[in-house]
Amino acid sequence: MATPTRSLPVRTQRSGAEIPLRTVVAPAPSDTLTGRIPLSAERPSTPDARFDPSAFAGEVVPFRVRAFREGHDLIGVQLRLTAPDGSESLHRLDAHEDGLDTWGVLVTLLAQGTWSFRFEAFADRYATWRHAAELKIPAGVDVALVREIGARLFDEAAAEKDRPAAERRLLTEQAALLRASGTDADASLAIVHDDRVAAAFTARPLGELWTVGATHDLLVERERAGVGAWYEFFPRSEGARRRADGTIEPGTFRTAADRLPGVAAMGFDVLYLPPIHPIGRTHRKGPNNTLNAGPADPGSPWAIGAPEGGHDAVHPELGSLDDFRAFVSAAASAGIEIALDLALQASPDHPWVTEHPEWFTTLPDGTIAYAENPPKKYQDIYPVNFDNDPAGIRAEVLRIVRHWIAQGVKIFRVDNPHTKPLQFWEWLIRTVRDEAPDVVFLAEAFTRPTPLRGLAQAGFQQSYTYFTWRNSKTELEEFLDSLAHETDDYLRPNLFVNTPDILTEYLQYGGRAAYRIRATIAATAAPTYGVYAGYELFENVARPGSEENIDNEKYEYKLRDWQQAEADGDSLAPYLTLLNRIRREHPALRQLRNLQIQHSDDDAILVYTKHLAGALSESGESDTIIVVVNVDPHSARETTVHLDTAAWGIPAGTPYIVEDLVTGATWTWTDHNYVRLDAFREPAHILHVKGLA
């Protein structure tokens, strides 16, 4: 068969790219569950095997399996990948020195669509011979027999017609040398260690006892499903102004469009809008979630529905549907995608309430149950009861999603998906994906681990996480390592630093240093992160007794002067701009699974690295980033950090040059390095490994 070329939609960690395709015939059915060479713990996978693992186009995916055989003979393992276009490629796996018989290979998947993969194991006759020869020839044990066994292997391989002529000549020559009487032990060992011979048998192994694993599917979605910098604002606040009588003239899609260049200049490529629909008046919430809204209070956008319409309508104060389409178009011209909130709930004034009262829960007193999250009460919101008319609700929600897709929306941020049936989301996302595979759903899943992970398995391309509440070094190490290596086959985190609902104690009391620290970790630890407007202004005053900003924008307009704050040096926007530029320029930061926790001697200095090998990158150049963060916003810390430099190809103890991408400073580092990080000045290093000193 023809040798695969680099036109295949993959990049592999081996410098030789894919190995030549060869057909492997699956063994006849067996009366045992295990194959001749047992294969297990195949990854990528999901905890529930009924769901497929996922990745995004351009993601480096670790393929791993456990494989072993009885005795001391050696085995080989290869990965057979089938791309969405039907093209196949083979990739040889390396044995991990973990004592668990783990084998793995890294492959960059470039094409969107459904891939399939399977592992194939075999008794590696060449590797077994080579290992024996390395031991027996120096010891003078059975040397003649060892040499003849090797020569016969070379003869057999040279006789294969699909081997290149140069390779066949090499093997024939080496077989003759092994049989030659003048070949001494040193010359024999030179043949044993000949990299050209090893490469020939790696590419086209002489295998026996072939075992073919099960075929698995892997869904690869578009890059935005896994990579992006999100910014959230309320369009009604952008361009809003105070009238002479003290009332607020709200912003519109037209005035909000004036903010788009500023968002784009900071480097954000996704703009998330809270619900843009008509807002109910019954039980409308006033400032700070009070029950006494005045006539000028705008209410919560999540109280969706009024006489003007429901989920398919635009709030009249924001403009028309044409205005929204123009806003989407203006955002696209600025390099920004619009993400729209999908909140499946209704205000008491929503048309659903009169047209489909069966979609809600009626209490014994005849009233409709409103939303509660004790002690919080949301009298202005009716939750949907998905069990009363599931077919009708499915049809209506699908109609709404299709409607907004037709307006140019390809990203939906889903509000509280864990309060709706999981099977509903599985159905909706699968149905939409079949029609519009570029659509992305983000789960606002601040919930227990099991439902959070269940939503990801069921199809949500992204998920909020517990990041906002993981603040200490120990918490962050455990949390980030889990994201990168435990749930990475199916859950893609979006590390929002704040939301309209979440202003953590860390931000309330950590001062400006806390804002820099959290943004640094979010932007470098995951390929997708987000910021809610006002973060760059260090808005850190909470409503007493809550984790929400006081004078919360959910219930009122927010007037901000972005330009003046930046001119006064009171804005984090320049630092966010720098972070997003670093993310664009360093592809290692646009990966999740390459994060490796490193060590420091201080309990507040978090250290992690991200490395992307040149063979796996689009440019062909490797990229290594070292992030060192003082997570204590109230102190200056001094410590030593300890790095596994061999992971990016630098032997322990070898000096190399790093550049701090925040300050521009350069240093010579090794695997053990002194750092001092002052939270009040620069709480973090983002270091780029430039090369050997």
User: Pairing mode, if any, of strands 636-642 and 599-600?
Assistant: antiparallel
Q: Does residue 415 have an active-site annotation? A: yes
With 0-12 / 13-18 / 19 or more C-beta atoms within 10 angstroms meaning exposed / middle / buried, residue 610 is: buried
- Cβ count within 10 A of residue 112: 20
Residue tagged active-site, from 221, 238, 341, 415: 415
Beta strands in 497-604 (DSSP E): 528-532, 595-597, 599-600
Residue 601 Cα to chain centre, angstroms:
29
Residues 19 and 78 sit within 8 Å (Cβ to Cβ)? yes
* Strand segments (E) across 444-502: 462-463, 495-496
Q: How many CB atoms lie within 10 A of CB 365?
A: 5
Which residues lie below 8 Å from residue 635, measured CB to CB, with a gap of 6+? 604, 679
End-to-end CA distance of the chain: 46
Instruction: Indicate which residue of 120, 124, 232, 444 is catalytic.
Output: 444
Tokens 């395709």 belong to residue: 21
Backbone angles phi, psi at 364, to 5 degrees: -55, -25
DSSP class of residue 124? E
- Per the CB < 8 A criterion, the answer to whether 133 and 192 are in contact is yes
Euclidean distance between CA atoms 387 and 261, whole angstroms? 45
From the list 24, 48, 45, the residue with the least C-alpha distance to 36 is 24
Cα Rg of the chain (Å, integer): 30
Collapsed DSSP state (helix, strand, coil) of residue 279: strand
Residue 691 backbone zone (phi > 0: left; psi -120 to 50: alpha; other: beta):
left
Active site residue 98: no
Place of tokens 């003007």: 308
* Overall size of the chain counted in residues: 693
How far, in Å, are 356, 620, 648 from residue 614 at the CA level? 58, 4, 10
Question: How many whole angstroms separate alpha carbon 504 and alpha carbon 512?
Answer: 14
**Phi, psi angles (nearest 5°) of residue 422:** -65, -40
Tell me if 231 sits within 8 A of 331, measured CB to CB. Answer: no
Tell me the C-alpha distance between 381 and 280, whole Å: 9
| Contact present, 400 and 369 (Cβ < 8 Å) | no
Beta bridge partners, 596, equal: 609
Position 165: which residue type?
A: A
Judge contact between 103 and 93, C-beta under 8 A: yes
Q: How many CB atoms lie within 10 A of CB 563?
A: 11
For residue 289, which of 28, 549, 23 has the smallest C-alpha distance?
549
- Residues 308 and 315: beta-carbon distance below 8 Å: yes
211 and 121 Cβ atoms separated by less than 8 Å: yes
Burial class for 148, CB neighbours closer than 10 Å (0-12, 13-18, 19+):
middle
The residues that are catalytic are 415, 444
